[in-house]
Amino acid sequence: MVSDQTTLFSSELLKEFTVKVFLHFGVSKAEADQAADVLSLSDLRGIDSHGVARLHTYFDMFKLGRINPKPNITIVRERKSVCTVDGDNGLGLVVGPRANKIAMDKAEQHGSGWVSVCNTNHYGIASYYSFKALERDMIGWSMTNTTKLVAPLWGAERMLGTNPISIAFPGLKNRPIVIDLATSAAAYGKIEIAKRKGKTIPKGWIINKAGDMTDQPSDMIEGGALLPLGSERELGGHKGYALSAMVDILTSVLSGANWGPFAPPFALRQEIPALSVGKGIGHFFGAMQIDGFMDVAEFKQRIDDWIEVFRNTKPVKGQAAVLIPGDPEHEAEDIRRKEGIPLIKAVVDDLKDISKQTGIKFDF
């Protein structure tokens, strides 16, 4: 039985450590800072799976020379408000922010900006990017494809990633509405946790290798697949599949990246597809100037009204209130900015291993 007990770490010190790890592999100071900022926000927002818990995987990829530490990120095709960016196999944590900035700069100039990105890697949490747009009074969209884990409805094998969609809307007095959702019914991490704890999982999360629904988390590890949001046909599983397909196409078919089952793996233990149909994985970013649609203050006031009306929905029994998308992460951020980032022992061990292999001190 593995412990889930955590130890608290300073967010700032974790970020400094992360920067040094990227510098160690020849990433420039500015880009190492940028990459660490993405991972750090994930930890602050309580999305533990996408923060420093992933640092050892980035470390592995760099060590094997699978990621280019000095990418030449370029626009390869363009038409005013839209373009395709080639990330030159750089860190997704560097390529993503750059491409997102291109989308926002285009929005500044053309009212909106839309960027499809190929030849990139795992970009962290999708909402990092939609948050950035808020700083410029824009509505920001962010999507990425990821390594195959999800079966299309009625399929018995992994063909799609968990392909998240994020979009955020600024409030005036209220904190923003931040939507960030994987298009699968459940996160892979939840299945790992259930397996570690020896528990069953809800019907609707996964199918086994034969394509049957199962409540055994071990079936996922042994060749099963996640189900799309909606789980089965009757509950709308075709809709989750369609949303995942939409993300796959906008990020990867449109940019020239590897789509669907051909997306290269992020982690070492994952199978490398025999066929390549493009370059790296793909992202998609959008930004729209709020001011092009409505007075910005008026829009923010209307978002405040929306938030307040929805918060006051009559709740079902056993729940205190309806949440606004982003609420749980806002709450986590409040706590963690004060108290620090709780890390489980497995993650701390990973960081210590990086420290040992690189000589970068991890003693805080």
3-state secondary structure 128-146: HHHHHHHCCCEEEEEEECC
Tokens 């160690």 label which residue?
Answer: 24
- What is the DSSP code (8-state) at residue 109? H
* 269 sits near a second copy (criterion: CB under 8 A): no
Residues in contact with 205: Cβ distance below 8 Å, sequence separation at least 6, in sequence order? 185, 186, 190, 191, 226, 227, 231
CB of 216 to a second copy, least distance (A): 16
Which of these ranges, 2-10, 33-41, 65-73, 294-302, lies near a second copy under the rule CB under 8 A? 294-302
* 289 sits near a second copy (criterion: CB under 8 A): yes
Is residue 151 a contact partner of residue 190, using CB atoms and an 8 Å limit?
no
Number of residues that bind a second copy (CB under 8 A): 90
Question: Can you tell me which of 155, 332, 336, 360 binds a second copy, judged by CB under 8 A?
Answer: 155
* 273 sits near a second copy (criterion: CB under 8 A): no
Bridge partner list, 9 = 341
Question: Can you tell me which of 46, 211, 273, 342 binds a second copy, judged by CB under 8 A?
Answer: 211
Residue span 322-341 as binding mask against a second copy, x where in contact by CB under 8 A, dash where not: xx-x----------------
Question: Can you tell me which of 69, 87, 260, 264 binds a second copy, judged by CB under 8 A?
Answer: 260
Which of these ranges, 23-31, 35-43, 46-54, 310-318, lies near a second copy under the rule CB under 8 A? 310-318
* 63 sits near a second copy (criterion: CB under 8 A): no
Question: Can you tell me which of 114, 123, 131, 362 binds a second copy, judged by CB under 8 A?
Answer: 114
Is residue 103 a contact partner of residue 111, using CB atoms and an 8 Å limit?
no
Distance CA 338, CA 335 (A): 5
CB of 54 to a second copy, least distance (A): 22
Q: Alpha carbon of 190 to those of 90, 149, 177, 193, 331: distances in Å?
A: 29, 13, 24, 5, 20
In the range 116-145, which residues lie near a second copy by CB under 8 A? Answer: 116, 139
Task: Between 269 and 317, name the residue whose CB sits nearer to a second copy.
Answer: 317
Bridge partner list, 221 = none
CB of 232 to a second copy, least distance (A): 9
Kind plus residue range of the DSSP H or E element containing 206 = strand 206-207
